Amino acid sequence: MKISILGVAATKFGELWSVSPRVLAKEAMNNALKQSGLKAGDIDALFVGNMLSEILGNQANLGSLLVEELGVQIPAFRIEGACASGGLALHNAINSIKSGQYKTVLVLGIEKMTDHSQDEITNALMAAGSDEERMAGATFPGVYALMAQAYMKQYKVSEEELASVSVKNHYHGTLNPKAQFQFSISVADVMKSAKIADPLKLLDCSPISDGAAAVVITGENIIKKVRKPIQIVASEVGTDTLSLCDRKSFTSLLAVIDASTKAYKKAGLRPSDIDVAEIHDCFSISEAIATEDLGFSKKGEGAKDIAKGKRTLFKGDIICNPSGGLKACGHPVGATGIKQIVEITEQLRGVAGKRQVENARIGLTHNVGGSGAVAAIHILRI
Amino acid sequence: MKISILGVAATKFGELWSVSPRVLAKEAMNNALKQSGLKAGDIDALFVGNMLSEILGNQANLGSLLVEELGVQIPAFRIEGACASGGLALHNAINSIKSGQYKTVLVLGIEKMTDHSQDEITNALMAAGSDEERMAGATFPGVYALMAQAYMKQYKVSEEELASVSVKNHYHGTLNPKAQFQFSISVADVMKSAKIADPLKLLDCSPISDGAAAVVITGENIIKKVRKPIQIVASEVGTDTLSLCDRKSFTSLLAVIDASTKAYKKAGLRPSDIDVAEIHDCFSISEAIATEDLGFSKKGEGAKDIAKGKRTLFKGDIICNPSGGLKACGHPVGATGIKQIVEITEQLRGVAGKRQVENARIGLTHNVGGSGAVAAIHILRI
């Protein structure tokens, strides 16, 4: 059975002090429905990807809470897998359609993070960390900094080369009206920004964000009112140990390699077939490693290729993070996996405006939870 | 495609101070695997039903955390829908098999609740409540007490009749070596126990518990080493508003009616075909209403039928909660929906020991989240 995307929508990402999670969810869901040419009554189930509503909002049962905003009573589920919650929600939604249980479903990713103190957020995010990491006092920048240290030493990569990831994504952000940061930065700006966890500096790190994104998918062959249906041709998930210290490698995420290998096989595609990808760049090091794990760059050359412009809009070959990525578009954690689908769908439809990747026909999304304990890979094509 | 249960296991339920969530999960998963005649390497994915790990344990990404205990790296998901998390996890697991994505999967329900103060637990559980209910200072006993008030008034039901639910379930608990409470109580005991929220008394309420339960299911036709395969012939989910004040009825749960109507239709069965059921009796009133919503009793006669012994082991027609239910077996919230499957499987296999329902061939599980915002119904048969 083919899975088609009927409609997508994302809210503006950023520090959205004036709106509640309900308002964010409603905006994304209603706009995705509107674009699909469907009404809430046409939807069979709602899948919600969210990580932190329980810790930050003391709100469980988010599926039932948010389905109320649709004004219909349909089965609703919350799927949680840290920052990969959005991708995992989509994976389960796709399976539910392929199973024959539901025909057309709505998948929402949502996170409201900025109404809390820095300490609360740091502690909440470490809920995805391992016991060892937490007992050692590590934060996520600290954990990814260890990967960066190992990567830079092993492959002789400079801090400047790593910084080029953020520079690229901020440039892309200037072309995305929904991005949290719509200004460019230079390598020098990254280098002189405050050290967070050596070698990662403030501008190597994605921000704390609010936002929601939604997608309507169906297995039905009759697709109405959609000019260019986009198909999801692979949806695969991989896992690895929660703790970095239990891993075989610090410079590769096995969950990503596992999921993407399965996804390429399922789609009958090779890495070089991908025109555009949305990458989980929670830190600059993440995107460098991801482009290698996904087969876009040779091992050790991911950061160098980005520094050379190979992933940059209008000059690269496989364009990564045209949305601005987590770094510039923002990272409301549960929303990220679905926002990636929204971006790739707009790219493949050719409606991505100033950040349109030319002749984009095949796209990939790469959504990671924790420091790589889980990864969801989706491949889309027109 | 037929979904078969290969193996089931539950830990003891109760105040398990000496074990961690990992240990509980491992025991349930390994015993379910052992009974299935399978190894961890035969499992394609893990679905974890859990409500409170984030709030009480500051632990997200529980799928990835607990899959480590299996010693294999397979896709893992946490599904959350308050106290229906177990049932919703099973629903998504079944869909994932029917979709062709996975062949054989493990579904775990788990909750560790007793390491926390009464205030922490009360607050954590209200995470499944609505804004209105929380702002009014309501607790879950309070919300269910409102239902009990309306029900008793509308159908002229006495507190003693309601108390018979707990009396029955405690009697059943005496026959279940894994139950948290293995002693009988009388109607007089219930009546003289402390008032919690009028008309509900302490012995009308299910306890705070720790526990885990696991089930291995497959869509494969070749079932090895299993003497009597049990099939899941229906898996349906319904939702309703989160808040009681938005509902059309206080004396019926529309989510249960919706899900069970669909489930009976899917299974080609009527309520009277059910031999044994595990009911979500978080409070005595819940079971009374449930037996009506499920079609076992006429409207207004659920509590009266229970008081007459119609749901009691060795004398009733449709036996409800032979395990002791949430009241006596215990209610580790995320584990409950899967424990119900374990109990019905053992009943249909005829291995339920002293609490065996005679000639049990068709069973049902009824798992509810919040005050009825979500319900998962499963029908099993041999």
Per-residue pLDDT for chain A (382 aa), expressed as one digit of tens each?
899 999 999 999 999 999 999 999 999 999 999 999 999 999 999 999 999 999 999 999 999 999 999 999 999 999 999 999 999 999 999 999 999 999 999 999 999 999 899 889 989 999 999 989 999 999 999 999 999 999 999 999 999 999 999 999 999 999 999 999 999 999 999 999 999 999 999 999 999 999 999 999 999 765 555 556 899 999 999 999 999 999 989 999 999 999 999 999 999 999 999 999 999 999 999 999 999 999 999 999 999 999 999 999 999 999 999 999 999 999 999 999 999 999 999 999 999 999 999 999 999 999 999 999 999 999 999 9
Structure tokens at B16: 């398990």
pLDDT at A36: 93
Substitution target from B239, B243, B254, B377 for chain A, most A beta carbons within 10 A = B239
Give φ, ψ of B13 to 5 degrees.
Answer: -100, 145
Cα-to-chain-centroid distance, residue A115: 22
Q: Is the pTM of this model over 0.95?
A: yes
Q: Distance (Å, rounded) from C-alpha B345 to C-alpha B362? A: 10
pLDDT tens per residue, range B281-302: 999 999 999 999 999 999 999 9
- The percentage of residues in chain B with a pLDDT greater than 90, rounded to a whole number, is 94
**Which residues in chain A are contacts of B249 at CB distance < 8 A?**
none
Q: Distance (Å, rounded) from C-alpha A307 to C-alpha A329? A: 20
Structure tokens at A107: 């998948």
Catalytic site residue from B91, B280, B331, B378: B331
Q: Does the interface predicted TM-score (ipTM) exceed 0.95?
A: yes
Contact call for A74 and B239, based on CB within 8 A: yes
**Which residues in chain A are contacts of B3 at CB distance < 8 A?**
none
Query: Is A83 tagged catalytic?
Result: yes
Contact call for A92 and B76, based on CB within 8 A: no
Q: What is the distance in angstroms between the Cα of B172 and the nearest Cα belonging to chain A?
A: 30
Q: Distance (Å, rounded) from C-alpha A18 to C-alpha A2? A: 40
Residue A10 makes CB contacts below 8 A (sequence gap 6+) with: A28, A178, A211, A212, A213, A214, A335, A338, A339, A342, A343
Domains of chain A: 3-117+209-218 (3.40.47.10), 140-207+230-381 (3.40.47.10)
Catalytic site residue from A172, A331, A366, A378: A331
Among B331, B327, B326, B321, residue whose Cα is nearest residue B355: B321
